[in-house]
Amino acid sequence: MRITFLSKYEYSLQDVNIKNLVNQKYCVFDLEGTGINFGTEHITQIGAVILQNGEIKEKFSSLVKSPKRISPEIEKLTGISNEDIKNAPAFPEVYKQFLHFCEGTVLVTQAGYEYDVPMLENHCQQYGTTLFSNPVIDTKGLFANIHQEYKDVISTNFLINYYQVEQKDVPRHNALGDCILISRIFKCILEEYEKKNIQDFFVSEGLAIKRFVIPGIYLDHD
């Protein structure tokens, strides 16, 4: 997998080849952080669920102690306060638990190619740990691969509305809650792949994908 950031608004996806989508064991994961600039912000929560045969089998969630304070805007967005993470375990401990949880799975994210994966990569460099070697599917890329007619941002809300996914029973901007929601979206996309008789997620040439923007919080980085 290769990600090339073309601008703060768009990236290019290349060299993805994940075979036999229907029969894989998946780990859907999500991060919350002190902000959305993966180069300068810090993880405050890691959530994950094991998804197999369309069903959630296991759940994982942990707050992460941050050396950087959470801004009031992010506290309001995520519901995670500086007091909440004051006594939380540090990143290396939580990341070790996460690696054990997701061992042998294909990882699944929403907007993960542009946030979650580079955020984890940056943290691994900072703390001297090794980034996972699992293959990664971003639901944005998976959707864009079969719907190149859509040129706008493929946001979580866009996918919820497109597939009419139930969301009222899960907390948004909570890592575990978002994992459950992403799992439902992912399941819908896989069902569409099956209907189109597409068995693999294969991207060779550059697939242009719009990056997410959170008004009032977005931090410029190229």
Q: What is the mean pLDDT of each run of 10 residues along the chain (222 residues)?
A: 89 95 96 90 97 96 96 92 96 98 98 94 96 97 95 93 96 95 98 97 93 58 35
Rounded CA-CA distance 112/107 in Å is 10
The pLDDT, as a whole number, for residue 215 is: 53
Tokens of 114: 């542009």
**All residues at 6 or more sequence positions from 1 whose CB lies less than 8 Å from its CB, including other chains:** 13, 14, 15, 16, 113, 135, 136
Task: Residue 6: name the closest of 214, 142, 207, 213 by CA.
Answer: 207
**All residues at 6 or more sequence positions from 110 whose CB lies less than 8 Å from its CB, including other chains:** 30, 138, 139, 140, 156, 159, 178, 182, 185
The pLDDT, as a whole number, for residue 101 is: 98
Task: Residue 177: name the closest of 80, 66, 34 by CA.
Answer: 80
Does the pTM of the predicted model rise above 0.85? yes
* Strand 136-138 with 106-109, pairing: parallel
Q: Which residues pair with 48 in a beta bridge?
A: 29, 60
**All residues at 6 or more sequence positions from 104 whose CB lies less than 8 Å from its CB, including other chains:** 25
Q: Are 74 and 217 in contact (CB under 8 A)?
A: yes
Distances (CA, A) of 103 to 56, 88, 99: 16, 23, 6
The pLDDT, as a whole number, for residue 222 is: 33
Task: Residue 49: name the closest of 31, 61, 62 by CA.
Answer: 61
The pLDDT, as a whole number, for residue 51 is: 97
Percent helix / strand / coil, the chain, rounded to 5: 30, 25, 45
